Amino acid sequence: MKLPIFIADAFTTKAFRGNPAAVCLLENKLDEDLHQKIAKEMNLSETAFIRKLHPNDNFTQKNVNSTLTFVTMSGELKARKEEDGIVLDLPLYPAHPQTAIGDTLVQDVCYSPDTKKLLVRLSDTYNRSFLESLTVNTENLLQVETTGKVKGLILTLKGEPGGQTQAFDFYSRYFAPWYGVAEDPVTGSAHTVLSSYWSEQLGKKDLHAFQCSNRGGELIISLRSDGRVDIKGGTALVLEGTLMA
């Protein structure tokens, strides 16, 4: 069996940055065991298997502002192509204040019960380089949180004026060792929580974010009046081939 497969880097326009994902196009449904084997072979944090639900569905649709709906295990995901990127239509999740923990590095702590993500805002006295160089021991996280209440840790920091570099409203990093991901390069789901938090903090509906992993990624965020959020990013196709399964 020969299957078309691609590797695309999301939330970037440069190869080998952003969030790498394998995308495998299917004509027919595969056994779950084969799904898992292919995902392990690709060795990426995300491997997507896309299959047409209707004969008229078009994998190669290129019209600007066209919308495709994907039926996933997490529900429907809508994505649309715009001139300068691809927009994901996602729910917006509020984060609720928690009792502060840790030392003076921590300015705010919030929790999203919908996503089970803990958001920790670092002090405004620190800058992007501090967040990028911060070492997080994810093994300790596994030992500290064993109740299942927290499934993802977001570290975030208020953005800085542009100056000679590009201005961002906020920075973040994301850790999910409870799912086997020590640190995720760029995380759309984390920004469904970050968008709600920073929109309230900054009084803005349109935000520009940067996730400070080693690969890094940019996200353009627009909060909508219907309680959802559009998260846009560029893509860079880095591999196209045929999988022999």
| Two structure tokens written together for 59 | 């994998």
Of 93, 101, 67, residue with least CA distance to 81: 67
**Contacts with 165 (C-beta within 8 Å, 6 or more apart), sequence order:** none
- Is residue 46 annotated as a catalytic residue, yes or no? yes
Catalytic residue among 27, 32, 41, 46: 46
Alpha-carbon distance of 156 to 175, in angstroms, equals 12
What is the 8-class DSSP label of residue 83? T
Position 87, amino acid: V
* Secondary structure of 153-220 in HEC code, one letter for each residue: EEEEEECCCCCCCCCCCEEEEEEEHHHCEEEECCCHHHHHHHHHHHHHHHCCCEEEEEECCCCCEEEE
Residues annotated as catalytic (active site), given as ranges: 46
